[in-house]
Structure 1
Amino acid sequence: MKIFLLGYMGSGKSYIGKRLAERIEQDFIDFDEEIEKRENSKISEIFEKKGEIYFRKLERKVLEEMTSSPENLVISLGGGTPCYGNNMDLIKNAKDSTSVYLKLNIENLTNRLEQEKSHRPMISHLEDREKLEEFIRKHLFERGFYYNQSEYILDCNTKSADEIITEIQEKLG
């Protein structure tokens, strides 16, 4: 089975994904890292040098490969991956796969991302907490439609990583 983890940046997709994969003895793929490895370039550099259209086409190609792979995988998607083209349909219709939305509220995302701002090019330019919160609020509004199409939606606001992983395992049987 392929397990796709969806959610906004800072929601814990990579952290949870790595630990879930270890626990269920499956390979783990961080989608953004996979794209960077293939291009030998950071995502921010791909956007800067080749543009968003190039990036989205590449993202789609990699997603198609993963959804058609016979391997059992845990895949933490990029925060925007499900929101472009018909990527969410591709994920939902992939054979032997499921999707899990790691849902956090704006306050928790803001708290997490405020600590990581300097490492995240998309938000590093935002001067203060208020601007960061406004940015997250706008993005979540736009992306919620896609995220909420996941097979499972987990409220992760008050749960530890271990509790989230256990809940995913329970849902998957």
Structure 2
Amino acid sequence: MTKRIVILGYMGSGKSTIAEKLSKETTKKMVDLDDYIEKKEKLSIPQIFKTKGEIYFRKIERAYLKELLDDSTIAIISLGGGTPCYGDHLELIQKTENLASVYLSVPLKTLTDRLYQEKKNRPLISHLDTKEMLEDFIRKHLFERSFYYNQADIVIQTESKSVDKITDEIKTKLL
């Protein structure tokens, strides 16, 4: 890999999975931003949201994102779904030298199916009772966030692609 990589996309898009696979295949150091935040704060993301609120979370998210972007030993960073959509986070990513951003674009139905199975662990969607409510929520979010996501250097359409195929596509485009 000639560049460091930041992987972005909606929750459930496979950012962490793809980042881990890229890390194994390239033997480059990888960090998942949400895991990093949980380790630093000694709380899970749902606990942070519940006890300290989203504003606090977004503030620390920015600080930890900056730490990771400034650490050139980290070659692959998997972001949280909302990370590039808040404050100046996208600008920080875009201004980091030798860094390419990759957006994993996943169809609405696929996201809905994936997230419905794990919604209790996702603070932003845990309150949505039906699959229809979840789909409407995701559709609205994707509409709002697509402006940010689509500014990535590379957009990968993931529909009907395996983890291996997606990983290979990223490596091909960034080697």
Q: Structures share a fold, TM > 0.5?
A: yes
Provide TM-score, normalisation by structure 1: 0.96
For 1:43-62, list aligned pairs within 5 A: 43-62=45-64
| Distance in 1, Cα, partners of 2:94 & 2:25 | 24
**Secondary structure at 1:9 match in 2:** coil
**Structure 1 residue runs without a partner (length 5+):** none
Aligned to 2:8: 6
Query: Which shows bigger deviation, 65-74 or 38-47?
Result: 65-74
| Distance in 1, Cα, partners of 2:49 & 2:117 | 24
| Distance in 2, Cα, partners of 1:124 & 1:86 | 27
1:126 Cα deviation after fit: 1.1
Deviations 1:2-31 (A, max 9, x none): 210000011000111101111011111111
Distance 1:96 1:171, change over 3 A: same
**AA of the residue aligned to 1:93:** K
Alpha-carbon RMSD across the aligned residues, in angstroms, is: 1.1
| Distance in 2, Cα, partners of 1:72 & 1:45 | 26
CA contact (8 A) 2:30 2:74 kept: no
**Structure 2 residue runs without a partner (length 5+):** none
Deviations 1:94-127 (A, max 9, x none): 0111100000111111111122223323222211
Aligned to 1:102: 104
Query: Which shows bigger deviation, 19-28 or 110-119?
Result: 110-119
Provide TM-score, normalisation by structure 2: 0.95
| Distance in 1, Cα, partners of 2:127 & 2:63 | 30
CA contact (8 A) 1:67 1:94 kept: yes
Tell me which of 41, 44, 48 is aligned to 2:43.
41
**Secondary structure at 1:79 match in 2:** coil
CA contact (8 A) 2:9 2:104 kept: yes
